[in-house]
Amino acid sequence: MARDGNRFNWRIAFLAGLLILATAGIVYRLFTIQVLDHERYRLEAQEEHLDKRLVRSARGAILDRSGFPLATTVDVFDLYVDRRAWRGAAAAAAVAEAVAARVGRPAEPLLARLLDDAAGPVELIEDAIPFEVGREIEALGLPGVVLAGGSQRYYPEGDVASGLLGFIGQDHSGLSGLEADLEETLGGRPGALYFERDGGGRPIVLGETRFEPGTAGADVRLTIDRHVQRLVESELDFQIEAHDASGGTIIVMDPQTGAILAMASRPGFRLSSLSLDGGDEDLFRNRAVTDVYEPGSVLKTITMATAIDRGLVNPNTTYYDSGSVEKGGYTFKNWDFSAHGVTTMTELLQKSLNTGAIWLSDLIGPDDMYASIERFGFGESTHSGLGGEAAGLLRTHQDAGWYAADLATNSYGQGIAATPLQVVTAIAAVVNGGTLMRPYIVEEVSSPEGRRLFAPVAVRRVVSEATSRTVVQMLWDVVDGVPFHRAQVSGYHVGGKTGTTLVSIPTGYALDSTLASFVGFAPVEDPAIIMLVKIDTPQDDPLGGVVAAPVFGKLAPAILSYLDVRPAAAAARAGR
Amino acid sequence: MATLDRLAPPPSAPLAPAWKPRRAIAVALIAAAAIALLQVFQSGSSVHTGLSLQRLERQQADLTASVHELEAQVAALSSLDRVERAARERLGFVPAKSILYLEVATEAPGGLLGPPPSIAAPAAAASESEAVPWWRDLLRATPFD
C-alpha cells in the first residue's frame, strides 16, 4: 500500500510541477506583454484604433531674384456632390442652379451631370473654385454639396521659365523642374490629424482626436531675373522660328559669381498648355543641363588658355597654317578649307582655325591637355542642383578606345560632349580672372525658421589671372577686332567665340545639320554677363557666327542696360 | 436636614445632536447637484471655447486665403506682360530699335531726388567774404582793428 501511495504522490507532484511551470510560463508571457513590451503593444493598439490623415502644408513660392513670385499658391475649393442626399430631381435642380450661377457655367449641363448616377454616389464636379466663391457656396448649405479646401499653383508671369520651374502633380508634389528639385524645401512637412475610428473605419464623433501641425514650405528666391528670362525666351522663340531650327538654348550668367540670370531651352512645354496625358514627356526636361552636345570651336578658348597658362605661347606667337594637318592617319582641315600661312594666336582665334588648335594641342601634350580640360569642369556635373544634370562625355588618353586623332579633334571641341551649362561655366572661368565658379540658381531660402543665403562657390583656380587677362583681350579682338562681327554691341566692348559643329548621329555626323553657337561676354573691362547662345540645326545658314552671334548682339545691350552696366566710354571716364 | 439623594442620576454631559439621515441625504444631494452643475458649466464653457476656437480658426483661414489672393493679385498686376500691354496700349510706347547712350556734360544734382524744393531749403549760408564787408577786411589788415 505504502508503495502505491508514494507512486501516487510522485505523480501528483509531477502534475503539480507541470502546472506550476505552465503557470509560470503564462505569468512570464503576461509580464512580457504587459510590462516589458507595454509600449510596443500600446502603439500597435493605437494603430488599430486611431486613423491618420495627412494635412497638406502650404507650398512655398518660387521668387525671382528681385523677390517677384514666379510661382505661388492660392487657396481654392474642390466641389463634390453626394447624390445620396437628394430625395428627387428638384433638389438636384436647385443645387445645379445655385452652383452654376456662382461658378459661371450653364445650369442645364450641370444638372444633367448631377442626375447621371453612372459616376457613383460621390463625384468631383468642379475643382479649383476661387476661395471666396467656395465660401459663398458653402454658406448656402446646399444638400449633398461638399466643399473640400485645397490649393492651386499660380504663375503670375504666365509661361515665363516654364521649363525651368517645372510643375506639380495633383498631390501637390513637384514632378519636374525646380518644383521637383526643391520639393523638400518648397513642400514643407505635412501635418497629421489622428482620430479614433470605428470598425468600419469611420471617425468616432466623440472619440480621441489629435492634430500635429506641419511646417509650411519655404519660399525660394532664385538668381533668375524675370525680365532677363522673358527677354531671352522671347528672342529664342523668335530665332528658332526665323531659322526654322529644331530647338535652342540660351544661358545668361554672372561670370564673377556663377549666378544664372536666365536659362531657356527649346523644345519645351508651356505651363498654360501643359498636358500630362502622355506623349509630351520629352518636353519636360531642361535641355540646358540634361542634353550634351559637341561645343566645337568655342572650346578653342580652353585650348588657347591652357597653352598660354603653361607659357607655351602668347598672343603674338606664330605658327604656319598650311590648311591641313595629318594626325593618327587622319587629315584635318580648317572649317572653310582655307590656308593662311604664318598666323598669330590672336588670328587663330579670330579665324577659328582647326589646324592652329591642333598645333596647340601638340605643344601642350595629352597629359596637360586633358588635365586642363578636366580642371575646367568637363566630364563631371557642375553640381548646380538642377535635376537630371549630365556629366558630359570625355575620353582621355588614359581611357580605352582613345586614339591619337582624338587629341586633335578635342582641341577644337569635337569628340567631346558637354552640356550648355558646362560650356558657359568653363568660359566664365576664363574671363572672370581664372576661377571656376559653381553655377547656382537658388539665392535664398526663407521660411518661418529663418533665412538661408547661398553664397557663390569657387570650385578651383583653372588659369592664372594674367592668363585670364590675356585671353580676355584675345576674345575681345575676336569680336570687336573683326569688322562687322555680328556680336558687336554699340557702346560696349564685347568678347566671345563662335562655334559650329556637325550634329552627331549613331553612324558619325549628319553633314547637313549643324549646331550654331556663340559664347560672349561684356563688358570686356569687367564682365557683368556671359551668354551662351545655341541654335540647333538652323536651316538657312549653318554657322554660329551668322546664326548665334547676332542673338548675343541683340540681347546683350538690353540686358546690360537693364542691369545698369555703364557703356565703355562712360566706364573709361569713371576710371575703370 | 439636607440629604444626599444617592438615587438621583449624576449630571451628564450635553447629548450629541441626533443623527438625522434626511439632512445628510439633502446635503449629499445638494453636493451632487452642485458637482453636476459644475460639470455642466465646465462642459458648456468647453463647448463655447471650442466653438470660438473653430470660428477663429475659420476666420484665420479666410484671412490667410485673402492674403494669398491679394498677393496673387499684386503679382498679376505687376507682371511684365501687363506692364508691357499698358505701356503699348495706354501710353503708346514702342520697343526701342536701338539704345542710345547720351553723355550729359553737367554735374548730376546731389541726392537721388535732385535738389530739394526751395521752400524747404535752409537759408543759404553766406560765405565769409560776402558776410564781412570789404572795409572790415581792410581794417583787419591794419593795426586799428
Over its C-alpha atoms, chain B yields an Rg (Å, rounded) of 50
Q: Does A73 touch chain B (CB under 8 A)?
A: yes
Sign of CA dihedral A31, A34, A35, A41: positive
Grid cell locating A466: 594674367
pLDDT computed for residue B100 by the predictor: 74
Of residues B127 and A394, the one with the higher pLDDT is A394
Angle at B80 between CA B74 and CA B81, to 5 degrees: 100
What residue in B sits closest to A154 (Cα-Cα)?
Answer: B72
Task: Quickly count: other Cβ atoms within 10 Å of residue A19's Cβ.
Answer: 10
In whole angstroms, what separates CA A98 from the centre of its chain? Answer: 44
CA-to-CA separations, A213 to A55, A218, B45, B99, in angstroms, rounded: 8, 15, 25, 54
- Residue A190 CA neighbour count, 13 Å, CB half: 12
pLDDT computed for residue A333 by the predictor: 92
Q: Is A1 helix (H, G, I), strand (E, B) or coil?
A: coil
Hey, what amino acid is at A332?
F
Quick one: residue A51, left, alpha or beta (phi over 0 = left, psi -120 to 50 = alpha)?
A: beta
What residue in A sits closest to B64 (Cα-Cα)?
Answer: A75
Query: What is the C-alpha separation between A499 and A327, in angstroms, rounded?
Result: 22
Query: What is the C-alpha separation between A251 and A260, in angstroms, rounded?
Result: 7
Least Cα separation, residue A531 to chain B (angstroms): 19
A307 within 8 A of A471, measured Cβ to Cβ: no
CA-to-CA separations, B111 to A564, B108, B115, in angstroms, rounded: 18, 9, 7
Least Cα separation, residue B18 to chain A (angstroms): 48
Angle at A55 between CA A54 and CA A56, to 5 degrees: 110
Contact B99 A227 (CB under 8 A): no
For the cut 50, the answer to whether the pLDDT of residue B119 exceeds it is no
Sign of CA dihedral B117, B120, B123, B124: negative
Instruction: Count chain A–chain B contacts defined by CB atoms under 8 A.
Output: 57
Residues of A in contact with B62 (CB under 8 A): 131, 135
Hey, what amino acid is at A122?
V
CA-to-CA separations, A381 to A216, A377, A390, A392, A401, in angstroms, rounded: 31, 7, 6, 7, 23
A532 within 8 A of A425, measured Cβ to Cβ: no
For the cut 60, the answer to whether the pLDDT of residue B128 exceeds it is no
From A75, A135, A490, residue closest to B98, measured CB to CB: A490
> Closest by alpha carbon to A360, among A413, A287, A403?
A413
Best residue in B58, B59, B69, B107 for a mutation probing chain A (most A CBs within 10 Å)? B69
Task: Quickly count: other Cβ atoms within 10 Å of residue B12's Cβ.
Answer: 6
DSSP letter, residue A84: G
Query: Residue A488, class by beta-carbon neighbours within 10 Å (0-12 exposed, 13-18 middle, 19+ buried)?
Result: buried
Least Cα separation, residue B58 to chain A (angstroms): 11
Residues of chain A below pLDDT 70: 1-8, 201-203, 205-206, 569-576
Grid cell locating A87: 430625395
Pairing between β-strand A219-222 and β-strand A62-63 as defined by DSSP bridges: parallel
What's the whole-number mean pLDDT along residues B92-118? Answer: 67
A519 within 8 A of A423, measured Cβ to Cβ: yes
> Closest by alpha carbon to B83, among A220, A270, A72, A68?
A68
* Backbone angles phi and psi of A548, in degrees to 5: -90, -40
Polymer length of chain A: 576
Grid cell locating A316: 603674338
Query: What is the C-alpha separation between A439 and A383, in angstroms, rounded?
Result: 8
Residues of A in contact with B47 (CB under 8 A): none
User: Which run of H or of E encompasses A69?
Assistant: strand A69-82
Query: What is the C-alpha separation between B31 and A462, in angstroms, rounded?
Result: 89
Q: Is A519 helix (H, G, I), strand (E, B) or coil?
A: strand
pLDDT computed for residue B124 by the predictor: 45
Residues of A in contact with B81 (CB under 8 A): 157-158
Please list the alpha-helical segments (H only) found in A384-497.
404-411, 420-431, 465-479
What pTM was computed for the model?
0.79
- Chain B residues bordering chain A (beta-carbon distance below 8 Å): 61-62, 64-66, 68-69, 71-72, 75-76, 78-81, 98-99, 101, 103
DSSP letter, residue B86: I
Chain A stretch 119-138, residues whose beta carbon is closer than 8 A to a beta carbon of chain B: 130-132, 135
Hey, what amino acid is at B76?
A
Quick one: residue B79, left, alpha or beta (phi over 0 = left, psi -120 to 50 = alpha)?
A: beta
Pairing between β-strand A330-333 and β-strand A50-55 as defined by DSSP bridges: unpaired
Reported ipTM: 0.70
Q: What is the DSSP string of A150-213?
A: EEEEE-TTTTTTHHHH--B-TTS-B-SHHHHHTHHHHH-B-EEEEEEB-TTSPBPTTS-EEEE-
Pairing between β-strand A191-196 and β-strand A50-55 as defined by DSSP bridges: antiparallel
